[in-house]
Chains A and B, each alone.
Chain A
Amino acid sequence: MNQLIQSLVDAISAGAVLGLAALAIGLVFGVIRLANFATGEIITAAAYSLILTWDLGWYISIPISIIVAVLISLLMELAVFSRMRNHGPATLLIASFGLSFLLQRVYELIFGNNVRTAPIASGLAQSVDIGGIRVQMLSVTTIVLAAVLLIALQLFLTKTSLGLQLKAAAADFKTARLVGIPAGRVIGLSFALSGILAAAVAFVLTVQSGAVGPSFGVRITILALVGAVIGGIDKISGSLAGGFLVGFATSMLASWLPQEMTNFKDAFVFVLVIAVLLFKPSGLLIKGRGVVRT
């Protein structure tokens, strides 16, 4: 029983991280139809910032990593994607692949091929006893962090004019512009929020691993992208739910698959993905088969 609860907490935590990463992708996709594969490199940049500045104290290091993530995210939009505004989602996706590879090489040039390490928030690596059940502090912290971020995001999207504008633009960008919502403002905002979410993901992953290399953010971005698609990348909530589902399933499979099969946990997740795409190609949270937007 204890093992089940422990693995559930871990799975919720894994789902929360992947949910945040998928949300970072979904927010931008909602506005400009860009499934930004280079979100991984925003995560990597934030992780490098944490590792390299951790000695200065967490209260300096964490804000620096958030600022770096937001700046890299905005720079991507300004330098690359803003110049491709009239291109379709496929072209934008390919461009983001290119940008991802380019940034990985840039990180390699600057920081080298070897991983950089630092004991990020090492206290979170310990286990705590909650009602007789031992759970990882990091899992609890991750769940709390994700909950706080989601509540803050929800409040922002529903209670502020800027948030409403972003929500409207994510639902129907063309109409939002016809209503008078400035395109540049909401696009910039979506990239900035994506950067903040990427920084949160980077924090959790860096605490987990204590090390960062040039391709640090790639795996989670692939899984997050998959999650966003199966949840319904057309909707912000769809991306979040899909990311959570993939993270949760991956973690539960890692806990409960027989030892000799755990290496195949991703394969099992992708079988689930194929099944969803076959029967609900628009995503689990999208009613009907979804709407093709131009």
Chain B
Amino acid sequence: MSTADTRQGLHVENLEVAYNGVPAVRGISFEVNAGEAIGLIGPNGAGKSSTLLAIMGATPRTGVVTVHGHDISGLAPEKVVRTGLALVPEGRHVFTELSVMDNLRLGAVARRDKSTYKSALEHVLDLFPILRDFGHRHAGLLSGGQQQQLAIGRALMSDPDILMLDEPSLGLSPTAVDTVFEALDVVRKAGKAVLIVEQRAEFTIAFSDRTYVLHDGVITLSLKPEDADNVEVLTEAYFG
């Protein structure tokens, strides 16, 4: 892919990931454009998390990944973040011994425009008011839902154009899941692209503009929001 590529958003072409020679992702292709939410669902071991980690440069891969037309192959994760991608990892992985504010400060390390730090911080604190209330609390003392909000807030502090989330609803109460997805809707409506990997199929299909089903590292189906209530489609998605 040359740097003359003028496409916007995230483009993944023929992505392959293998661990010790065992394929985890087998040549998948998809795109995520500004202002849209894309879901990736599938059973355990389907290759969902590997896809996100490979896009971030955190695991070896082949294939082409471009952000706004720029090939990011071979870039280290910390450089990928600077191209406009951010990942909220599975399990949240906030820095538990640091305060909420310090976690958010660290998220801003990769900001391309440092002059807008304060307004970005205000935006995140407006989106997740609980983080303002608990700003000086150790992140490890937050509940799972609050930690998820912090992890998303930290990712937003880098001012990404494309926000990727790995299992954002994992281990959260229904109320916390609602809070998280309401915030993601705001993010999407602000023009950012959102790529969500989830186990909760109905929820993801209903939220996303398109949802891809992964099976054994291959995209087997593409679903629309109206498929969320279609039991046959969901059964097909998960059991083939």
Contact = CB atoms under 8 A, between A and B. Distances in A.
Interface of A: 161, 164-165, 167-168, 171-172, 174-183
Interface stretch (B37-45, B74-82, B198-206, B212-220): B74-82
Interface string B76-107: 11100110000101000101111000100111
B109 A179 contact: yes
Contacts of B102: 164
Nearest to B95: A168
A164 B110 contact: no
A111 B26 CA distance: 59
Contacts of A167: 95, 97-98
B158 interface: yes
Given A179-B154, A183-B78, A171 B107 contact: no
A178 B76 contact: no
Nearest to A86: B60
A168 B97 CA distance: 9
B230 to A, nearest CB: 35
Given A172-B95, A177-B58, A181-B109, 16 more contacts: A161-B105, A164-B98, A164-B105, A165-B106, A167-B98, A168-B95, A171-B97, A175-B89, A175-B95, A176-B106, A177-B78, A179-B106, A179-B158, A180-B78, A180-B81, A180-B110
Contact of B93 (A175, A180, A181): A175
A179 B76 contact: no
Interface of B: 56, 58, 76-78, 81-82, 87, 89, 93, 95-98, 102, 105-107, 109-110, 154-155, 158
B89 A178 contact: yes
Contact of A181 (B56, B58, B78, B98): B78
A242 to B, nearest CB: 18
A180 B105 contact: no
Given A161-B109, A164-B105, A174-B58, A179 B81 contact: yes
Q: Main secondary structure on chain A at its contact with chain B?
A: helix
B56 A178 contact: yes
Contacts of B78: 177-183
B107 A179 contact: yes
20 contacts: A164-B102, A171-B95, A171-B97, A172-B93, A174-B58, A175-B95, A177-B76, A178-B56, A178-B77, A178-B81, A179-B78, A179-B158, A180-B81, A180-B82, A180-B107, A180-B109, A180-B110, A181-B78, A181-B109, A181-B110
Nearest to A158: B102
A164 B106 contact: yes
Contacts of A183: 76, 78
A169 to B, nearest CB: 10
Contact of B110 (A168, A172, A174, A179): A179
Contacts of B158: 179-180
A28 to B, nearest CB: 18
Contacts of B87: 178
A140 B81 CA distance: 48
A172 B89 CA distance: 12
Contacts of B76: 177, 183
B145 to A, nearest CB: 19
B146 to A, nearest CB: 17
Closest 8 A-B residue pairs measured CB to CB?
Answer: A180-B110, A180-B81, A175-B93, A177-B77, A168-B95, A182-B78, A180-B109, A177-B78
B109 A165 contact: yes
A188 to B, nearest CB: 14
